[in-house]
Amino acid sequence: MASTLLNTFRLAKAGIVFAQHGVRFVPSGLPVPLALRAAQALVAPIGWLSAPFRIGQPKSKRISAALAQLGPSYIKLGQFLATRADVIGPELARDLSHLQDRLPPFAMAQARATVERELGGKLEDHFASFGPPVAAASIAQVHRASVIENGVETAVAVKILRPNVEKRFRRDLDSYAFAARIVDRWVPSARRLKPLAVVENLKRTTDLEMDLRLEAAAISEMADNIAGDPGFRVPKVDWRRTQKRVLTLDWIEGTPIADLAALKASGHDTRALGMTVLQSFLRHAMRDGFFHADMHPGNLFVDAKGDVVAVDFGIMGRLGTRERRFLAEILHGLITRDYRRAAEVHFWAGYVPPHHDVAVFAQAMRAIGEPIHGKTAAEISMADLLGQLFAYTDVFDMETRPELILLQKSMVIVEGVARGLNPELNLWVAAEPVAKEWMERNLGAMGRLREAGEGAGEIAKILGDLPQLMASAERATAALGEISKSGVRLDEASLKALTKQGKSSIVTKLALWVGALSLLAMALVQMGVIAR
């Protein structure tokens, strides 16, 4: 009960701040839950309403100003919701794009204490020099420092978490979960958007951001992925001076990518840089399945050699093999006007429930694809295409796919950066070699053989487990009964149902066995070993 009252009180306070800024935070068309209206009435007399209203500011910036006033966790909430136009609507998501994650820095004494507590000893034991903060955000701030290695002094960037930031976020995330439960219970139309899952996803994201060792690991992983790529690099991690609350990296000397005048004055080819930014992002997403999800201009620099250097790896996106194939096939289907194929991929991936008609969904794909034909490359946006695609989620009962929404949001940012460097950038020309490489690698003979090899390994494990599999036959009957009601699909829901009766279920293993045999046969046919 105490927790309910406390969360109600906190949410009402936030609601009043929104009201002071002239913000309607609940998307248009959704009713404000009675509990929240009652909470606002309860705390209104306390005095916050005496604060001056700020509705004279531009409408598009009101919500950003309100969230900045509410503090670090609300800034992070706003940044997260900016990626979820499917939840809050495109207009509100667009307004949130104005949100700047900038806060006053915390004191040098606190920074020193954190470094000494995390790394041990005195600050001077680790750094030859340590300057004041050069940037401060909701979760951490960055200092310029230097280290001496083998008698050579080198500049580094030291990122330090804000004091007590975890406690503040835990408290506010508890309030967000409370609000999500209210919405889930009292607004049936919003349940498809999974408000509780949205909050849980935000919690996971912030948990990752508040362990700087994980950010260091993300940088290290991307460095391995892009080792042979031209024109794009990431800072090097100083693992000796990195702990949970302290991250030390190479200091990046470079020109901000948004400073076109400085780039041109330094002799850089901005048109080539635009191509590099876009192709690098697509390569990371489609080839590696691991991409920087916050590549705004403030996180990109161009060094003296002309390489694009990314910083701030707190928000990363991942795509599985299925999502990458989905993306490649959708783009290919829309470009080639093969709308039937584009529709079938949605059903294959399990994104559209099987009770819908493939032909009707292909019609929706045509509504997205046809308007782009006849337009110039400069008029076409891949991010907009994905945004239109997600607009059909409600019509076709498609469940929210957070990883694809994050990809779309990231693509919007990357497109903006790339076209800022080269307004005439042809997105299709830029994307074609990356998509072609992916298709050849994953859908050609070698890709099929690789999948078959993975399947063959699974067969070997199944044969070893055969006695246990036979003992599980009774449990399989119930799982098969569940699956038969809605048909078998290669999607998350079907796989969960298959494994519901236990991880060693015979159905699960036999499904993998049959799948592996099928993939092996497909690969052998493709290579001419078996006659078609």
Rounded Cα gap, residues 217 and 278, in angstroms = 24
Domain assignment present for 196: no
Strand 140-149 with 232-233, pairing = unpaired
DSSP 406-423: HHHHHHHHHHHHHHHH-T
Domain assignment present for 95: yes
Does 83 have pLDDT greater than 80?
no
* 357 catalytic per annotation: no
Tens of pLDDT, residues 119-158: 999 999 999 999 999 999 889 999 999 999 999 999 999 9
Tens of pLDDT, residues 309-358: 999 998 898 998 878 877 777 767 776 788 888 888 878 777 788 888 99
Domain assignment present for 365: yes
pLDDT at 2: 57
C-alpha separations of 407 from 47, 285, 474 in Å: 42, 8, 42
Domain assignment present for 206: no
Per DSSP, the chain holds a count of helices (H) and strands (E) of 23, 10
Average pLDDT over residues 220-241: 96
- Band of pLDDT at residue 59, cut at 50, 70 and 90: low
User: Are 383 and 452 found together in one domain?
Assistant: no
User: Are 430 and 449 found together in one domain?
Assistant: no
Rounded Cα gap, residues 55 and 24, in angstroms = 12
Measured over the CA atoms of residue 313, residue 317, residue 320 and residue 325, the dihedral's sign is: negative
Q: Per the structure block, which two tokens stand in for 392? A: 């059909």
C-alpha separations of 402 from 111, 436, 498, 530 in Å: 35, 26, 23, 41
Q: Is 10 exposed, middle or buried (0-12, 13-18, 19+ CB in 10 A)?
A: buried
Of 376, 403, 434, the position where a domain reaches its end is 434
pLDDT at 19: 76
445-464 and 427-443 helices cross at what angle (nearest 10)?
40
Active-site residue among 294, 307, 384, 491? 294
* Boundaries of domain holding 469: 445-526
Is residue 88 within 8 Å of residue 81, measured between CB atoms?
yes
Q: Per the structure block, which two tokens stand in for 461? A: 């494990």
Rounded Cα gap, residues 454 and 516, in angstroms = 8
CA 119 to chain centre: 31
- Band of pLDDT at residue 22, cut at 50, 70 and 90: confident
Rounded Cα gap, residues 61 and 239, in angstroms = 40
First to last CA, the chain: 68
User: Are 518 and 412 found together in one domain?
Assistant: no
User: Are 450 and 430 found together in one domain?
Assistant: no
Rounded Cα gap, residues 416 and 294, in angstroms = 12
- Band of pLDDT at residue 382, cut at 50, 70 and 90: low
Tens of pLDDT, residues 387-405: 676 667 667 777 666 676 6
Rounded Cα gap, residues 360 and 193, in angstroms = 23
pLDDT at 501: 45
How many domains are contained in the chain? Answer: 3
Domain assignment present for 427: yes
Average pLDDT over residues 413-433: 82
Query: Tokens 């806060």 correspond to what residue?
Result: 103
Domain assignment present for 426: yes
Residue 447 half-sphere exposure toward CB, CA atoms < 13 A:
11
Is residue 230 within 8 Å of residue 246, measured between CB atoms?
no
User: Are 493 and 455 found together in one domain?
Assistant: yes
Q: Per the structure block, which two tokens stand in for 306? A: 């002309």
**210, 221, 222: which is closest to 246 by C-alpha?**
210
User: Are 400 and 485 found together in one domain?
Assistant: no
User: Are 287 and 405 found together in one domain?
Assistant: yes
Q: Per the structure block, which two tokens stand in for 33? A: 């839950």
User: Are 453 and 384 found together in one domain?
Assistant: no
Domain assignment present for 461: yes
User: Are 507 and 421 found together in one domain?
Assistant: no
Domain assignment present for 11: yes
**148, 107, 157, 154: which is closest to 126 by C-alpha?**
148
User: Are 332 and 351 found together in one domain?
Assistant: yes
**2, 42, 44, 1: which is closest to 19 by C-alpha?**
44
Of 101, 134, 149, the position where a domain reaches its end is 101
Average pLDDT over residues 81-89: 66
Strands of the 255-256 sheet, one edge to the other = 232-233, 308-310, 300-302, 255-256
321-336 and 339-348 helices cross at what angle (nearest 10)?
160
CB atoms within 10 A of CB 165: 20
Of 401, 434, 467, the position where a domain reaches its end is 434
pLDDT at 514: 45
